[in-house]
Structure 1
């Protein structure tokens, strides 16, 4: 089969199209003929071995696919440890979720990781209350586009989106944000306060890192919460000192999606079911970010790392 393999860690240049033997499903697993592959920012960290879970070489990146099982079921699947950038992939049966009628490949893959991330951030990390102000950094990205829509659907009082271009800010407003500001603002604290009518903000969803995180923390209201779920800027924020948290009774949370599967009950399944229902009813929608040939996985990673993309990026394994 055709697959993209990494044999040395690095940037997009290490992604190479190769021929590999078909994977074999073991007990409790299912073999999937892949129709579309989801691309996540985490994949870029996986390729350079900077992800929370260490990578091992050789590596086929990719953690999510849509396709059909041998018995004809259409599923969207999470893969353990990669293997998604290929014509065929193996997933644990429990991680292959049946797709409802009317849910297309783009929507399925948008909701699987990025939609579920937004759902868990808002429901489990920050426990959003109706009427609260919510800042969504990188609001035109895969998680951001869903988070803006969910926050509005769940009664946020004011949604403040940040994005780096007029096009991205216009998209965030179209999706329901009340105001959209430039993510490159020199003083993000002041920018967020101004966007919130001079008041401190209640909730921040942050996957940027660096000074964006630092300045967002200082914009939090008493009992405000910042949920940190990535570091696209690849720069560490300053260490958080407990005495500074006392200053405004603020909370800083972190979220890594694999930990959700350690929770009691089927939290991930609940999130996915609700997201598919919302999408089917038109309350939220997936935003296409571009479809790349499997042979051009490097191009997809270059686009993601440039921070110039919107919505959800896909790979087509037939090309």
Structure 2
């Protein structure tokens, strides 16, 4: 079968399309023919070995797929430990979900990992309360675009999004953000970003920030929190760590910093079932709009990663393993 494999760590240049043996299912697993594979920003960390868990070579990236059991059957969307950038994958039964009629492969992939992340960021980690102000960093991205809609649906009093271009900021407002902010305000000094977030909230501090950039964006977001505000960190797209957080300052301001990694939910299948059981029907009903960023041939996987890292994309990116 055709698959993407890396034999050395690095950037998009290490992604090679090769022929590999078909994977063999173990206990509680099935072999699937992949119709579409999902791309996530975490994959760019995985191939350079800067992800939360250490990687071993050789490896095939990819944590999600849509496909059907080899030999036929129900179309499913599923999560993987790796190996998704391929024509065939093996997946555990408890990490696959039936795709409703009317939901496209791309839409299903948009919600299985990024949508579940947005769901748990707001529900499980931030414990969003109706009326609170929510800041969504990278609001035009796969997680952010869904988090904006879910925060609005679940009663946020005000939703503030950040995005790196006028077009992306316009998209966040179309999705339900009340106002959008340019994250470049944090490039040199986090205090300017703090001021911009508070200004976007009518001069008041904010209650919840969903943050995945790191660096000055994290620093400025934390300073913008109100007492009992929560910053949930789930990425470091800038590859720049923020300033260390002083526990004394958290006590003095009654603020919280909460980490989130969806892998821990995958180890508790009921947590994934709760998220997907709500998200997939919302997409089928047209009540939740996944933003689809582009479909790339498997042979253009390097281009997909380049576009993602350069912030040239919005929403969900996918690979077509048949091309």
Match of 1:294 in 2: 298
Distance of 1:291 and 1:69 partners within structure 2: 22
8 Å Cα contact 1:153-1:283 kept in structure 2: no
Distance of 1:148 and 1:90 partners within structure 2: 33
**RMSD across aligned C-alpha pairs, in angstroms?**
1.0
Q: What secondary structure does 2:184 align onto?
A: coil
* TM-score, length-scaled by structure 1: 0.97
Quote the offset at 1:260 in angstroms: 1.3
Residue 193, structure 1, aligned to residue 198, structure 2: yes
Quote the offset at 1:262 in angstroms: 4.1
Kindly provide the CA deviation profile for residues 17-57 of structure 1, in whole angstroms up to 9, marking residues without a partner as x: 11111111122111010000100001111101111111111
Note the residue ranges of structure 1 that are not aligned, 5 or more in a row. Answer: none
Q: How does 1:280-319 map to 2 (within 5 A)?
A: 280-319=284-323
Quote the offset at 1:284 in angstroms: 1.2
Task: Number of aligned residue pairs: give it.
Answer: 317
Q: What secondary structure does 1:121 align onto?
A: helix
Match of 1:257 in 2: 262
Quote the offset at 1:295 in angstroms: 0.6
Q: What secondary structure does 2:226 align onto?
A: strand
Q: What secondary structure does 1:110 align onto?
A: helix
Distance of 2:34 and 2:312 partners within structure 1: 27
Quote the offset at 1:282 in angstroms: 2.1
The runs of 4+ residues in structure 1 deviating greater than 3 Å are none
Residue 274, structure 1, aligned to residue 278, structure 2: yes
Match of 2:89 in 1: 89
Quote the offset at 1:247 in angstroms: 2.4
Q: What secondary structure does 2:283 align onto?
A: helix
Judged with a 3 Å threshold, the aligned counterparts in structure 2 of structure 1 residues 19 and 261 are, in CA distance, closer, same or farther, namely closer
Quote the offset at 1:160 in angstroms: 0.2
Match of 1:206 in 2: 211
Quote the offset at 1:104 in angstroms: 1.1
Q: What secondary structure does 1:18 align onto?
A: strand
8 Å Cα contact 2:193-2:220 kept in structure 1: yes
Kindly provide the CA deviation profile for residues 149-185 of structure 1, in whole angstroms up to 9, marking residues without a partner as x: 0000001000000001001000000000000111111
Match of 1:228 in 2: 233
8 Å Cα contact 1:4-1:18 kept in structure 2: yes
Q: How does 1:12-31 map to 2 (within 5 A)?
A: 12-31=12-31
Match of 2:166 in 1: 166
Note the residue ranges of structure 2 that are not aligned, 5 or more in a row. Answer: 187-191
* TM-score, length-scaled by structure 2: 0.96
